[in-house]
Structure 1
Amino acid sequence: MVSTSTPPKRFPENEYVYIEDVESMEQYRPGGYHLVSIGDKLQDRYRVVHKLGHGGYSTTWLAREERSQKLVAIKVGTAKSNPYEVNVLSALATPAQDTTPRERYGRDTMPSILDRFDIKGRNGIHPCYVMAPGQASVSEALEASDSVMFELDVARALVAQLALAVAFIHSRGMVHGDIHLGNVLLKLAPEVDQLSDEQLYDKYGWPTMQPVVRFDGQELPPGIPTHGTVPVWLGKPSDEVRLPEAKILLIDFGEAFEPARKEKYVSHTPLCTRPPEAHFEPSKALSFPSDVWSLACAIWSILGQRPLFDPWLANIDDLTRWQVDAFGILPPEWWLLWEDRGKWFDDNGVPLENREGVFSLGDRFRFSTQEPRQKEGMGVFEQDEEEALLAMLQSMLTYKPGDRSTASEVLDSEWMRKWAMPAHEKIP
């Protein structure tokens, strides 16, 4: 009988069968990940009870601090990881003199480093730092929801906090460099700390382990986990998030930089939220306006059902034509640099006759935000709010970085003052 089952995917560099949502086993090598298992005790103080996730340079674990019995998140870096991110967070946590309420709100969205230490293991010395855990990213909460939206006041409050976070970072001379909804966490509800391990497992599920298998069928070498641990889901769908729970943390400062001290020319922000100067002016250093562009894209995704520009299968030419449709012709020097402009536009930036899929910013707001909100009964924006919101977003999505609103100016905009900040102030 001929088997119709599909063999596991294998890439030439892979030795181990892929496990969904689990880090690459090939990276458990000198300079790479440190082997952590459920039940391990780190620093003779933190008992690992679940896994929260992984990145290219770390794994993150939910642990019980045995003195206080509180839950914490521990990020265990690879041996080659740079401690730069934790140094940035420590600097941002340092109180400044004469702080304003706006700055205090902004600091509340920063992860606090509760402890830091190193672990010496088979693969090297691994920097570790301890933070308060989040429940899930905003992007994960949206993906888990049938409506793919937040209630209107919840969305307004989340946007206000994210803008406060970016303005705070900028006030400290820092650019985040990677603003997107995967890097915005919803804070974990305080009552979760009161759960015992057994109650935690009853509510969120026991750790799920998948056996690690080599493609060649041989035994696992020393230092490779016998099982991959699948991350736990501590969140809830976006449409179930209520205003008292709408509190965020802005995370992942691995791309952060200080323009006054270090020039940076390459943006690693996802393509559809990447500022256009990263493509059209690659020889000019990025700065604070690059965050403002990405912030505008994140705001759009929080408020509606669809991102401003669809990330699926998009390339730089797709993105540029959508931007020209929405915001108008590029600056002259950028326009001439765009070799494929003639496929979609005449020399004056007017869409070619009979071209389909030409959407202005207002069109996109209608079909990605207003219509889905009305259909799902999630609240719509009245005309005066819509006009104020689009005016704010247009000021943030100006092509030339120097013409864009600053993060502070965004907070002073009419929409922020009349709609977003009042929603934020309702949070207990």
Structure 2
Amino acid sequence: MSFAACLTLSTPLLSLLLERLERYVPGGYHPVHIGDQFHNRYRVLHKLGHGSYSTTWLARDQKTEKLVAVKVGTADSNPREADILSELSPTNEPTTSAFGQFDISFPPILDRFKIQGTNGLHPCYVTLPARASLSDAREASLKRLFQLNVARALAAQLALSVAFLHSKGLVHGDLHLGNVLLRAPTAFQDLPDQELYDEYGQPQAEPVTRVDGKRLPPGVPSYGLSGIWLGECSEKITLQEAKIWVSDLGEAFRPSIENRYESITPVSGRPPEFLFKSGNQVSFSSDIWTLACSIWNILSQRPLFDDCFFPDEDDIMCQQIDFLGLSGLPNSWWDKWERRSKYFTETGEPSHGREVLSWEYIFEEDIQKARGNEGYPQVSPAEKEAIFAMIRPMLTFKPEDRCTAAQVLQSKWMTEWALPEYQKIK
């Protein structure tokens, strides 16, 4: 029996919300319990979440009495993210760019240390707590929409963040709404323990046991915890609350000194050069494609490229061609696509009976009608034209044909609609 099969929870469905228990082995996660103290300073109060290479905990900094987030890496994780964040956010002061002064949208590193545990040596860093990702805020809503002024401000901050990252010679490499976090208000950091639990709930521990009844190995926690929900439904987020952190920079890198040829971005937002296996490198242009998809997803009720449940790479490739047309697709990409006959004839016409959706149709259904049906303001014809004028140069098949992040910020939609809404927050 495998190690994973030896472990179970009293509520099996909870395992879908937790990190993989089989990763509590040498080289994997560090077992954490409520009340643990890190670095003789940070007392664990609740769990915030987890990723493939870390768990994140809400803790009380006993030196400042503030609430903080402590990210505990697996013993085999790379401290790259903390190194990059330290470089990007050496202070929490506003940064001046060619587009004015804006707040750094990357979480500042407050402290760094290592924990020696039964599963190895774990890199840790401390930052400010966040409420929830933009993706989680949408998932928590039946409407799945941000208010239009909020959507504009979120898009502006995201574009500014990518432009700032690129100006430092860095590619994010995994940009999507799950990696964009809503900041917690400053007052949240002063919330006493009991008020925190009264408002957001006590940690609900589910015992971890072995199916054979034997004692747990020392590197496994005695219970599992789902993350605390500090967020809000997307439509309830106000403009003053719409300040973000761009997170999960573990995939960020400098193309000038490192080459990468695979994208780990979720398939619905993955740039076409990686779906078509073109041999192109991950680049600044890759971020521009994912930025375009992210901005559309902020404005819309549904992702741009996602016309079916659980789409695979071929479904997304088909929709990209439907939207962009075959004229810009390199012939070599088309020739290498083995499953194209499922979607297209050899002359490039849609296969018999297949419905082809246009950008215009998707815009009307997922942005205009979706907002109108909820009684929300809709996008004006002038703003719609500006959105399309900005998005089209960001979404080209050939990476070298895409615009830059600086050009995105210079677009009419950014200068006349998005950036002005962001300025209102400040």
Report the Cα distance in structure 1 between the residues aligned to 2:356 and 2:340, rounded to whole angstroms. Answer: 14
Report the Cα distance in structure 1 between the residues aligned to 2:45 and 2:364, rounded to whole angstroms. Answer: 45
Counterpart position of 2:324 = 327
- Whether the 8 Å CA contact 1:210–1:228 is kept in 2: the answer is yes
Tell me which amino acid in the other structure corresponds to 2:58.
Answer: L
Report the Cα distance in structure 1 between the residues aligned to 2:37 and 2:343, rounded to whole angstroms. Answer: 59
Counterpart position of 1:248 = 244
Identity of aligned residues (%): 50
Report the Cα distance in structure 2 between the residues aligned to 1:340 and 1:221, rounded to whole angstroms. Answer: 47
Instruction: Check if 1:261 corresponds to 2:260.
Output: no
Q: Residue 312 of structure 1 is aligned with which of 309, 314, 322? A: 309
CA displacement, residues 143-177 of structure 1 (integer Å, 9 cap, x when unaligned): 11121001000010000001111111001000000
Query: Where do residues 142-291 of structure 1 align in structure 2 (5 Å cutoff)?
Result: 142-291=138-287
1:156 match: secondary structure:
helix
Counterpart position of 2:114 = 118
Report the Cα distance in structure 2 between the residues aligned to 1:200 and 1:74, rounded to whole angstroms. Answer: 17
- Whether the 8 Å CA contact 2:118–2:218 is kept in 1: the answer is no
2:68 match: secondary structure:
strand
Report the Cα distance in structure 2 between the residues aligned to 1:90 and 1:132, rounded to whole angstroms. Answer: 13
The structural deviation recorded for 1:37 is 1.1
Counterpart position of 1:351 = 350
2:5 match: secondary structure:
coil
The structural deviation recorded for 1:84 is 1.2
Report the Cα distance in structure 1 between the residues aligned to 2:4 and 2:230, rounded to whole angstroms. Answer: 33
Counterpart position of 2:380 = 382
Counterpart position of 1:338 = 337
Tell me which amino acid in the other structure corresponds to 2:132.
Answer: A
Report the Cα distance in structure 2 between the residues aligned to 1:315 and 1:12, rounded to whole angstroms. Answer: 31
Report the Cα distance in structure 1 between the residues aligned to 2:161 and 2:17, rounded to whole angstroms. Answer: 29
Report the Cα distance in structure 1 between the residues aligned to 2:155 and 2:65, rounded to whole angstroms. Answer: 33
Unaligned runs of 5+ in 2: none
- Whether the 8 Å CA contact 1:137–1:183 is kept in 2: the answer is yes
Q: Residue 413 of structure 2 is aligned with which of 406, 410, 415? A: 415
Unaligned runs of 5+ in 1: 1-9
The structural deviation recorded for 1:336 is 2.0
Report the Cα distance in structure 1 between the residues aligned to 2:144 and 2:348, rounded to whole angstroms. Answer: 34
Counterpart position of 1:6 = none
Tell me which amino acid in the other structure corresponds to 2:35.
Answer: G
Distance change >3 Å, CA 352–CA 58, structure 1 → 2: closer
Report the Cα distance in structure 2 between the residues aligned to 1:122 and 1:364, rounded to whole angstroms. Answer: 52
2:250 match: secondary structure:
coil
Counterpart position of 1:373 = 371
The structural deviation recorded for 1:103 is 7.5
Instruction: Check if 1:47 corresponds to 2:43.
Output: yes
The structural deviation recorded for 1:267 is 0.5
2:271 match: secondary structure:
coil
Report the Cα distance in structure 2 between the residues aligned to 1:153 and 1:273, rounded to whole angstroms. Answer: 24
Counterpart position of 1:7 = none
Q: Residue 15 of structure 1 is aligned with which of 6, 31, 38? A: 6
1:298 match: secondary structure:
helix
The structural deviation recorded for 1:101 is 6.0
Counterpart position of 2:137 = 141
Report the Cα distance in structure 2 between the residues aligned to 1:316 and 1:258, rounded to whole angstroms. Answer: 27
- Whether the 8 Å CA contact 1:266–1:282 is kept in 2: the answer is no
Q: Residue 100 of structure 1 is aligned with which of 94, 97, 102? A: 97
Counterpart position of 1:4 = none
The structural deviation recorded for 1:293 is 0.5
Q: Please tell me the root mean square deviation across aligned C-alpha atoms, in Å.
A: 1.9
Report the Cα distance in structure 2 between the residues aligned to 1:341 and 1:11, rounded to whole angstroms. Answer: 40
Report the Cα distance in structure 2 between the residues aligned to 1:302 and 1:197, rounded to whole angstroms. Answer: 34
1:73 match: secondary structure:
strand
The structural deviation recorded for 1:190 is 1.7
Distance change >3 Å, CA 56–CA 111, structure 1 → 2: same
Report the Cα distance in structure 1 between the residues aligned to 2:422 and 2:234, rounded to whole angstroms. Answer: 17
CA displacement, residues 267-307 of structure 1 (integer Å, 9 cap, x when unaligned): 00001100011133442322100011011111111101011
Report the Cα distance in structure 2 between the residues aligned to 1:300 and 1:118, rounded to whole angstroms. Answer: 39
Q: Residue 397 of structure 1 is aligned with which of 388, 395, 400? A: 395
Report the Cα distance in structure 2 between the residues aligned to 1:349 and 1:294, rounded to whole angstroms. Answer: 26
The structural deviation recorded for 1:88 is 1.3
Report the Cα distance in structure 2 between the residues aligned to 1:308 and 1:250, rounded to whole angstroms. Answer: 21
Report the Cα distance in structure 2 between the residues aligned to 1:274 and 1:222, rounded to whole angstroms. Answer: 40
Report the Cα distance in structure 2 between the residues aligned to 1:232 and 1:371, rounded to whole angstroms. Answer: 34
1:206 match: secondary structure:
coil
CA displacement, residues 352-408 of structure 1 (integer Å, 9 cap, x when unaligned): 45x332111111111111111100112210111111101211111111101111111
Tell me which amino acid in the other structure corresponds to 1:243.
Answer: L
- Whether the 8 Å CA contact 2:67–2:191 is kept in 1: the answer is no
Task: Indicate the larger mover: 24-33 or 181-190.
Answer: 24-33
The structural deviation recorded for 1:81 is 1.0
Report the Cα distance in structure 2 between the residues aligned to 1:118 and 1:12, rounded to whole angstroms. Answer: 26
Tell me which amino acid in the other structure corresponds to 1:368.
Answer: D
Report the Cα distance in structure 1 between the residues aligned to 2:375 and 2:144, rounded to whole angstroms. Answer: 12
TM-score, normalization by structure 2: 0.93
Report the Cα distance in structure 2 between the residues aligned to 1:145 and 1:279, rounded to whole angstroms. Answer: 31
Report the Cα distance in structure 2 between the residues aligned to 1:79 and 1:352, rounded to whole angstroms. Answer: 50
Report the Cα distance in structure 2 between the residues aligned to 1:267 and 1:67, rounded to whole angstroms. Answer: 41
